[in-house]
Structure 1
Amino acid sequence: MPASSRATFDVQPGPRTTMARAVRAETTKLLTLRLCFNTMAGTVLLTVFLSWILTNLIDAAHKAGRPEEAAGLEGGTAFLVILHYGQIGVILLAAWSMHQESDSGSLRSTLISLPQRSAVLAAKAIVIVAAVFITAVLSVFGSAGIRCVVIDCTTETSQITATPQAASGILWGVVLYWILIALFTYALSVVLRSGLAAMGTVLAMALIVSTYMVNITPLAKFLPDQAGAQLYQLPPSAPGDLGPATGGLVLAAWVVAALVAALVLFRRQPVRR
């Protein structure tokens, strides 16, 4: 083999090197985008702060002998309501990671430097999962901990569930749900070629549409957000509920289907200038 050919062969990056480069590049982009970092920090601070406020309000209502003002909530578990709406932050984070590149035209530069589109798509997904994981852990466990500043978490009535293991499962269920719903949003933003459209679609489904659909058809429980919410529902399960394991698998199936569709379309789509 000629020396020039050997030199050319030696510098060809392998799959691991290519993926590592892609992940580093996507991490740098995320850390340098002020909106993404602010979204992560804002999600953590808001969920923890609002959990503290809601716990205060619910605890005050019960102590004042006005449980009707608590709307059926208990001080020990009221923060789960805030965590349900906390998904807005990670949905925004996932949608913006694709929107900021495709809308500004910088995606073209990314693909010129790294033509392997599957690697680009996978690297973005890895970085999103890492960012959402950090955001979710701080938000979920921070919210669970801040309630103990207001109430005595050692009492039986203030505990999340009957056992610490079950309580931990619910908290990690929220973390897993946030990761999966963020991945679903990211994949949908690739399919729709618009982060804003994906964000609007998922938010409308999770906060409005599915809430009404469950009263119309039992099939609504198979929607991504309804199925995924089973991961952190308090026991006992209502009749007809999917349960945490089945609900998690249904959401995971939605995510896999969306990612496959995103990969197929991303490989074929022309890149906007």
Structure 2
Amino acid sequence: MTGPSRSGGTRVRPEHSGPRTDGGRLLLVLLLVAAVTAFTATVPLLRGFFDLRVYYGTVHTWAHHGGRIYDYRVPGTVYGFTYPPFAAVAMLPLALLGRTAAVVVSLLVNLAALAAVLWVLAGPGRRRRGWYRWALCLCLLALFEPLRDTFSFGQVNLVLLALVLADCLLLTTGRGRWAGAGTGLAAAVKLTPVLFIGLLLLAGRRRAAAVATAVAAGATALAAWADPAASRFYWTEALWDTGRVGRLDYVSNQSLQGVLARLGETGRPLWASAVLLTLCVWAWRARRAAA
């Protein structure tokens, strides 16, 4: 190709080197994929879809054998269902699947949730970047321990994150009529996302916070209607029994209580003080970010 030069004549421009560049990028991505695959297959502990086994066994026992949600235990262990009753209602489709199919569906759902999370976080401008950037990003994320555990345990964390970020997208694009519904559903499945209702309040998004609260309450009421005994047991007993989720000092427990347990500090006053201090710092930072 030719074009004007500064001296008034023409200059020769190099031909587009896209194929050569794309070939090099493809080779780099393939090498990284191979390295990440080798790492994840040999170095980290594989979790054997343990949490998915809990969900699957609980739902099958409840739907097909008349068992109680919080009585089920994975064979050979003391671990059972720890989420609110609405989570079991939301997971009822597992009752239609075999174990292998459940694992495949779990992987596909988590991959779809991860794609949605990346799409929201990237933003409109950054979504137009080349395919290889996304491939490199996925390789790096595959090394991220919480993400690996979510896939290999068969957990629901990515789905809940996608629901919360969907509300964020609705709010930032001016389509906030139903903003908060995703956060409410996430909070009804697992208690941790309740924190994001507080974040909506700190950000001055009172309508979205109200929608999230209403959806969470409605979903919880639906679960109470579906299984009153399970709801009564969860909110009065199971919720307060920390032994149901495993040892506090287990390395994967990254909560403040887990950290203190590994340091040999199990006193409630110290834990409560640490939680209060953390919430104060979080509220201050969140308020500044919203402003």
Query: How would you bin the TM-score normalised by the shorter chain?
Result: under 0.3
Bigger relative contact order (CA 8 A; separation at least 6): 1
Larger Rg: 2
Normalised TM-score (structure 1): 0.28
User: Would you tell me which structure has more helix in proportion to its own residues?
Assistant: 1
